[in-house]
Amino acid sequence: VNVSRRWLERFLRRSLDAEDVSTRLAAQGAAVDVIEPLNAGLGDIRVALVEEVRQHPNADRLRVCTVNDGSADRRQVVCGAPNVTAGRKYPFAPVGATVPVGKGGAPMRIEKAKLRGELSEGMLCSARELGVGVDADGLWELETDAAPGTFLLEALPLDDDRIVVDVTPNRPDLLGHKGVARELAASLGVPYRLPQLGPNALAPDVPPAQRAAGVRETVTGPLRVAIDDPEGCARFHAAVVRGVRVGPSPAWLRRPLEAVGVRSINNIVDATNYVMLELGQPMHAYDLATLKGPALVARRARAGETLVTLDGVERRLDGETTVIADAARVVGIGGIMGGHETEVRDGTTDLALEAAWFEPSRIRRARRALGLSTEASYRFERGVDRWNAAEAMRRSLEIILLTAGGTIEGSPVDLHPVVANPPRIFLRLARVKQVLGLELGLHEVERCLVAIGATVVAKPDDGRLAVDVPGWRPDLTTEIDLVEEVARMHGYDRVPTELRPFRVGTLPDAPAFAVKERIRRGLVAEGLSEVVSLPFTAADGEASVALLNPLADTGASLRRRLLPTLVRHAERNWNNHVRDVRLFEIGTVFERAEAGKRPVEQLRLGLVVTGAREPGHWASEAAPDVDAWDLKGLAEVAGALAHPGATWHVEGDHFMARVKDGRTVGWAGRLAADTPPWGGALFGVEIDVTDGARGPVRVEPLPTTPAAERDLSLVLPDGVASTAVIQVIRQAAGDLLEAVHVTAEFRGSAVGEGRRSVTFRLTFRAPDRTLRDADVDASETRVLSALERELGLSRRGA
C-alpha cells in the first residue's frame, strides 16, 4: 500500500525522515518495499514576483515580464501564458535550472535565450510543467506569503515521499494512513491525531449519527436505508447531502491523493477516496436523484440480476453476492464497486453517502466470482474496522461541505441490526513468559497492549489481564495473538541472541540421507561433479506426468529419467567448448501410477562422462577418451553405492543392472547426443537408489605369509565370457586361491578367427604357511581340468 510521508507528518505533527519511517515500520512487521521521493526535481524552482508585464513588441501572444526572483537584479522573462499578471507570484525556473516536464514530457534545462528579439532569463512555470498538477492552460498562481527567491519546496508542502509498505494479510489496519501513523506513534512514543482538513481551522458542523441498533431499517432525510442481508452487510452508515456543487478538488484534497498515486476525479469522489486512504474505510457516493425510492438496501443479489459497474462493464450477479439496491434495481456491488447509472456526475446536486461493513469471506468470494478486485474489496476482504465507520462518515461529510458546499438533510444514520462488540481476550503473564522466554513485567506488557490501541480493562490477581482489542485489529482473537503483539511492541531487537542450554534431539539422521552422502563421496572420488537439475523435461513417453501449466523453456512434464537432462547438460558444456564433462545427479523421478493413484516417485542416481580419461599433461601423450570399460567401472561403482546387491549384465550394446529377483534397477551405455565433431563419446549410467542400512566396514586381517602367482593363458571362443571362466576357476581352485585377475587379451591369426587369448593371473596364499610349488601345482591342475570339462577350454599352445 502507498503511504505519503507528509500525510503521516500531519498525523504525528512532526517532520519525519522516510528512511527512519521505513526502519521503524520494518521493525514492527510492516516491511517497506521502496521509497519514491516525489517532486524531487523541483529543487531549483523558486517563488518569484512578477512586478511588471508589457506586450512583446514582435509577438501578439507573448508578454515580457520583469521578475523579482529575490536577487538584487530584476530578470526579464518572456512568457506566453495568458494569465500572467503583475503583482502575482509564480514558480520560477532560473537559468540553469531543470523543469521536470518540458515540451514532449522530458525534463528541460532552462537556458538564457532571445525570443523574437527579447532576452528571456528563465521561465515562469505552470503546475503541469512542474509535474504537480494538470491545469496547463496558464501559469501556476501561488498563494503564498513566502518572499521572492524562496525555494518552492520550502514555500509549499510539495516535497513528499511515497512509501510503499508491504502489508501482511493479517493487518488491514495498515491499509490507511491512520493505522500506519498509529504504528509509528507507538514506535516514536508520541501521540497521533487526525489532521486538520484544509487551511481552515474550523471544520464544518456535522450532526452525530443516529444509532439504529437492533433494527433492519431506518431513514435519513428522504432516504430509506435497510439491511436485508445482515450476514453479508452487518452495518450501514448513510447520509444525505443536498445542494452540492461538483467540481475540481482544492490542492489540499487533491495533493495527498496524488502523492499516493490516486487520480483526482472531483471533490465528491476525492472526499470518499481521501477518507478510505486516511481511515481505511471504503465509501461510496450515489447521485440521490438517480436512486428510486429513494432507498439503499443491502441484500443478496437475485438470480439473473445484472449491473453495469462504474467501469462500464455489465456484471452478472449471484445469490452469494451482497448488493446495494434502490427500490427498483441493483445500484452497487457491496464493498466492491458502485453502479454506472447512479454515480456522481458533474451535474449532480444531491448525494447519498454510504459507509458500510461487509463480511470479509463474502467479499472474497464475490471478488473471485466476478474477477473484479478494487481498492474497496482489497480492504473489505481483509477486514475493515466494524466500529469506526462513523468517523469515516463524519470526515467525508466535512470534506464535502468544505469543498462542494451543500447541507446535510436529516441526520446521518448508523444502522446495525445485530449489535456486536470487539472481543475481550484474557492474557496470562505466564503464557507470555512461556512463549517468548522473556520475563516481562506487568507494566511492560500493559504498555505494549496500550500501544496497539487495546484497553486493559482488568488486572485480576490470578496473573491474567482482561484485554479489549480495538476494532481495527480483527486479527486479534486469541491469547497467542496478544503474546505476539507484546513481542512486537516490546521489540524483536530486544530479544537476546545468546544460546541457552538445550536438549539434543533424539531422532537419528534419515537413512536415505546417509545413502545420498555415500553416493556423493563415492562419485566425487571418481572425479565426477554433482549437478542439480530442474525436475521438468519434455514429455518422455506415455507414463510421463504432464503439467497443466508448464512454464516456457523448462519442459511440460515431470522427469521420468535423469539421463535426458544430463545429456542436455553435456551438450550445453560442448556449446561452451568444454570437452571433458563428468557429472552426476541424485534426484527424484516421477511416473504415472495406476488410475486413481498419485504419481510414483523414485530416487535415482544418474551420471554422464565424456572426454579424456585423465587431464592432459605436458610430459605425457594425451590420455585416450573414456570408453566402454570406463563406463563399466563407473556403473559398478554406482551400483555399489546406490543399489548394493545389483549386478550388471551385458545386453546388446549396453549393460543392465539386475537384482536377485530379476528386476531391472539400472542401465549403463553409450548415449545419443548432439555431439560436435571434436567431442568424444558420451556414456551414462542411471540406477535406482535404495536406502537399506549398512553396517560398518569389517576389516580383514592383513596377510602374514607370501603369495604365489600363476598365469594361465586360455583360448576363449567368442561367446565365452571371462566372468564365466573366473567362476569356474574359483570353484575348482580350492581355499588357497585368493584372487583372479585378467591381465591381457590377444586376438590375431595366431589364435584364429572367432577366438581370443586371455591371460588370467591366479594368486594363491595360505594364511598359516608359505606355499610350496606342489600345493599350487595341484590347484592349477584341478582348475585346468575343470575348465576343460565345463567350458572346453585349454591352455594356449597346449
Partner 1 sequence: MPSRRRWTGAVHPVGGHRRDREIFRGLGFAIALGPRSRPTGTTSSRSTSPPITRRWTCTTRCISEVPPTVDEPGAGRLLLRTHTSPVQIRVMHASEPPIRVIMPGMVYRSDAFDPSHAPAFEQIEGLAIDEGVSFVDLKATLTHFARRFFSPSTAVRFRPSFFPFTEPSAEMDVECQLCHGSGCGACKGTGWMEILGCGMVHRACSSRAASTRSATPASPSAWVPARITMLRHGVPDIRLLYEGDMRFLSQFTAARSSTGGDT
CB-wise, 693 or 697, nearer to partner 1? 693
527 touches partner 1 (CB under 8 A) = yes
Q: Minimal distance in Å, beta carbon 83 to partner 1? A: 42
219 touches partner 1 (CB under 8 A) = no
Say which amino acid occupies 245: R
674 touches partner 1 (CB under 8 A) = no
439 touches partner 1 (CB under 8 A) = no
Task: Considering only residues 351 through 410, tell me which ones interact with partner 1, judged by CB under 8 A.
Answer: 368
Q: Does the CA dihedral 474-475-480-486 come out positive or negative?
A: negative
Q: Minimal distance in Å, beta carbon 394 to partner 1? A: 32
Stretch that binds partner 1, among 152-160, 231-239, 256-264, 525-533 (CB under 8 A): 525-533
Among 369, 390, 603, 771, binds partner 1 (CB under 8 A): 603
DSSP β-bridge partners for residue 26: none
Among 583, 605, 631, 635, binds partner 1 (CB under 8 A): 583
Give the three cell numbers for residue 245. Answer: 456543487
Q: Minimal distance in Å, beta carbon 202 to partner 1? A: 40
CB-wise, 247 or 511, nearer to partner 1? 511
Laid out side by side, the sheet with 89-93 consists of: 75-79, 63-68, 46-55, 89-93, 123-124
Q: Minimal distance in Å, beta carbon 535 to partner 1? A: 6
Q: Minimal distance in Å, beta carbon 468 to partner 1? A: 20
Q: Minimal distance in Å, beta carbon 586 to partner 1? A: 8
CB-wise, 87 or 501, nearer to partner 1? 501
How far apart CA 335 and CA 311 sit, in angstroms, is 15
Task: Considering only residues 74 through 93, tell me which ones interact with partner 1, judged by CB under 8 A.
Answer: none
108 touches partner 1 (CB under 8 A) = no
How far apart CA 454 and CA 65 sit, in angstroms, is 61
Number of residues located near partner 1, criterion CB under 8 A: 106
CB-wise, 314 or 493, nearer to partner 1? 493
Residue from 272, 41, 267 nearest 158 by CA: 41
How far apart CA 137 and CA 130 sit, in angstroms, is 13
Taking the CA of residue 643 as centre, how many other CA atoms within 13 Å lie in the half-sphere pointing to its CB?
A: 28
CB-wise, 35 or 466, nearer to partner 1? 35
Three-state SS for 409? strand
| Other CB atoms within 10 Å distance of the CB of residue 308 | 13
Residue from 52, 481, 76, 35 nearest 260 by CA: 35
Q: Minimal distance in Å, beta carbon 475 to partner 1? A: 8
Distances (CA, A) of 337 to 327, 358, 475, 691: 19, 13, 25, 59
CB-wise, 183 or 258, nearer to partner 1? 183
599 touches partner 1 (CB under 8 A) = yes
Among 191, 371, 508, 692, binds partner 1 (CB under 8 A): 508
Among 190, 458, 578, 742, binds partner 1 (CB under 8 A): 578
Buried b or exposed e, range 770-794, using 16+ CB within 10 angstroms: ebeeebbeebbeebbebbeeebebe
CB-wise, 243 or 615, nearer to partner 1? 615
How far apart CA 90 and CA 76 sit, in angstroms, is 14
Among 119, 215, 442, 600, binds partner 1 (CB under 8 A): 600
633 touches partner 1 (CB under 8 A) = no
CB-wise, 155 or 637, nearer to partner 1? 637
CB-wise, 437 or 748, nearer to partner 1? 437
Among 582, 604, 643, 765, binds partner 1 (CB under 8 A): 582
Among 588, 731, 743, 785, binds partner 1 (CB under 8 A): 588
Q: Minimal distance in Å, beta carbon 648 to partner 1? A: 22
Q: Is 453 exposed, middle or buried, given 0-12, 13-18 or 19+ CB atoms closer than 10 A? A: middle
Please answer whether residues 355 and 379 qualify as being in contact, where contact means their C-beta atoms are separated by less than 8 angstroms: no
Q: Minimal distance in Å, beta carbon 545 to partner 1? A: 5
640 touches partner 1 (CB under 8 A) = no
Instruction: Please provide the DSSP assignment of 121-137 as one string.
Output: -SEE--TTTTTS---TT
Residue from 323, 328, 272 nearest 295 by CA: 328
Stretch that binds partner 1, among 246-254, 377-385, 388-396, 540-548 (CB under 8 A): 540-548
Laid out side by side, the sheet with 233-242 consists of: 210-213, 407-416, 233-242, 351-358, 284-287
Q: Minimal distance in Å, beta carbon 4 to partner 1? A: 19
CB-wise, 114 or 503, nearer to partner 1? 503
Distances (CA, A) of 277 to 177, 250, 259, 260: 6, 17, 11, 9
Among 106, 201, 303, 504, binds partner 1 (CB under 8 A): 504
Among 95, 115, 289, 438, binds partner 1 (CB under 8 A): 438
Tell me how long the chain is: 798
Please answer whether residues 295 and 258 qualify as being in contact, where contact means their C-beta atoms are separated by less than 8 angstroms: no
CB-wise, 420 or 546, nearer to partner 1? 546
> Cα(first)–Cα(last) distance of the chain, in Å?
94
Among 74, 520, 670, 782, binds partner 1 (CB under 8 A): 520
186 touches partner 1 (CB under 8 A) = no
Buried b or exposed e, range 707-719, using 16+ CB within 10 angstroms: ebebebebbbeee
Q: Is 145 exposed, middle or buried, given 0-12, 13-18 or 19+ CB atoms closer than 10 A? A: exposed
Give the three cell numbers for residue 165. Answer: 509498505
Q: Minimal distance in Å, beta carbon 451 to partner 1? A: 13
Q: Minimal distance in Å, beta carbon 480 to partner 1? A: 5
CB-wise, 132 or 487, nearer to partner 1? 487
598 touches partner 1 (CB under 8 A) = yes
523 touches partner 1 (CB under 8 A) = yes
Q: Minimal distance in Å, beta carbon 427 to partner 1? A: 13
Please answer whether residues 687 and 638 qualify as being in contact, where contact means their C-beta atoms are separated by less than 8 angstroms: yes
Among 87, 191, 441, 596, binds partner 1 (CB under 8 A): 596
Task: Considering only residues 198 through 217, tell me which ones interact with partner 1, judged by CB under 8 A.
Answer: none
How far apart CA 543 and CA 364 sit, in angstroms, is 39
Please answer whether residues 339 and 317 qualify as being in contact, where contact means their C-beta atoms are separated by less than 8 angstroms: no
597 touches partner 1 (CB under 8 A) = yes
Binding mask 152-171 for partner 1 (x = CB under 8 A): ----------------xxxx
Residue from 293, 364, 304, 312 nearest 334 by CA: 364
Q: Is 96 exposed, middle or buried, given 0-12, 13-18 or 19+ CB atoms closer than 10 A? A: exposed
693 touches partner 1 (CB under 8 A) = no
Task: Considering only residues 462 through 501, tell me which ones interact with partner 1, judged by CB under 8 A.
Answer: 478, 480-481, 483-484, 487-488, 492-493, 495-500
Q: Minimal distance in Å, beta carbon 32 to partner 1? A: 8
How far apart CA 312 and CA 290 sit, in angstroms, is 17
How far apart CA 325 and CA 189 sit, in angstroms, is 46
Buried b or exposed e, range 646-656, using 16+ CB within 10 angstroms: bbbeeeeebbb
Among 529, 723, 781, 794, binds partner 1 (CB under 8 A): 529
Stretch that binds partner 1, among 139-147, 387-395, 504-512, 729-737 (CB under 8 A): 504-512
CB-wise, 56 or 379, nearer to partner 1? 379
| Other CB atoms within 10 Å distance of the CB of residue 515 | 23
Task: Considering only residues 544 through 573, tell me which ones interact with partner 1, judged by CB under 8 A.
Answer: 545-554, 558, 566, 568-570, 572-573
